[in-house]
Chains A and B, each alone.
Chain A
């Protein structure tokens, strides 16, 4: 009876093909990206390090090739204010804000891969961390530039001008 139930279920599956509503198939050619540059900014170096480990692991699991992981030096924004409300110009207080950066560069992606990876990585962005994404598209050279101009012009007879 169990074997009969399994055979009936498999027949039912073949008659109704399952289409996942989240997956869309289109015939348009996908835009290709030469480089996907993700710059992550944060106040805490440890948070950025753990996020880098997570993003690199996600890229490896999805099969995306990583060009390089760059860590630009931190920028410190300092300002000096008066310590007191009224006078005492010689006594000041200094505050600073440190921004650490981490740049992740991925190469040779399709638009759907980039969309999936960016959505996953952005949903898991920790609080207090900002991200900027730059995409470098590869496009075909437009038709009017494909051949050099001097090949297509009609041949002009050179007339020597004697002064």
Chain B
């Protein structure tokens, strides 16, 4: 069967008007750099810099790890930043868990990931009541 002429990568298809979509989800990947920012910031993809594949693998593992330690709480994709040796994970969470449990999970993530990757890891959490709607498709 022939391929459909439309690309389906990272795009939310139009529905009846009841599907809530965040700013991140509403914009297609060709808007990155114009209307969207980057979710993972490192120097591996610059001209003349090495280590892109290792960073990509680390990013994939970190996103799965965060999705597993905060099940159902992550509102949007976490933003990963690398400054020198330091790894900063910025995540938006919902308010389902009480604060002392969130602090425990934050410390657990930081120590465990620090031992895995042998570098200082900082987890910056922010809680919101719900996901911010940008459009209703």
Interface residues of A (CB under 8 A from B): 41-44, 75, 77, 83-84, 88, 91, 93, 97-99, 125-130
Contact = CB atoms under 8 A, between A and B. Distances in A.
A130 B43 contact: yes
B44 to A, nearest CB: 10
Contacts of B21: none
Which of B41, B42, B81, B88 has the most A CB atoms < 10 Å from its CB? Answer: B41
Instruction: Summarize B's interface: helix, strand, loop or mixed.
Output: loop
A93 B41 CA distance: 23
B3 interface: yes
Contacts of B84: 125
Nearest to A99: B47
Given A127-B81, A127-B83, A44 B43 contact: no
Contact of B33 (A77, A98, A127): A98
Interface string B35-46: 000100111011
Contacts of A93: 7
